[in-house]
Amino acid sequence: MSVEDFRINAYVRQVLSRCWVDSKTLRYGAVGRIVYFHGRFEKFRPPRRDDANGRSRQDEHAEDAALLARVEKEVRREGLVLDVVFRLENFRKAQGKWTATGV
């Protein structure tokens, strides 16, 4: 692993932490200055009670999709990053927009 990959990994860790992304369900790593994301992309949320805040799963998916777009944009903005590859279980990118797959 190159020095650039270590720096990229540290930067990605900062971005995910700043955005409250659940790191238990998402793996990431840089290889050859290309960042790979695997697993499930979810925002960290405290345990919810049934309809405690009136938010539906659809609202949470929309929020997660917007957050995923933000994370992708921030990671791509890093000058050392050549590309970003997503292999997510619960989201896919279609026509430039992230949508939940319902998993």
Q: What is the pLDDT of residues 38-56, one digit of tens each?
A: 999 988 877 766 555 556 6
pLDDT value, residue 52: 55
| Whole-structure pTM value | 0.83
- Identify the sign of the CA torsion 72, 73, 78, 79: positive
Q: Which domains does the chain have, with CATH numbers?
A: 3-100 (3.30.70)
Query: How deeply is 21 buried, as exposed, middle or buried, from its count of CB atoms within 10 A (0-12, 13-18, 19+)?
Result: buried
Sequential pLDDT tens for the chain (103 residues): 789 999 999 999 999 999 999 888 999 999 999 999 999 998 887 776 655 555 666 777 888 899 999 999 999 999 999 999 999 999 999 988 998 886 5
Q: What whole-number distance in Å separates Cα of residue 36 and Cα of residue 85?
A: 5
% of the chain exceeding 90 in pLDDT: 62
Q: What whole-number distance in Å separates Cα of residue 68 and Cα of residue 81?
A: 17
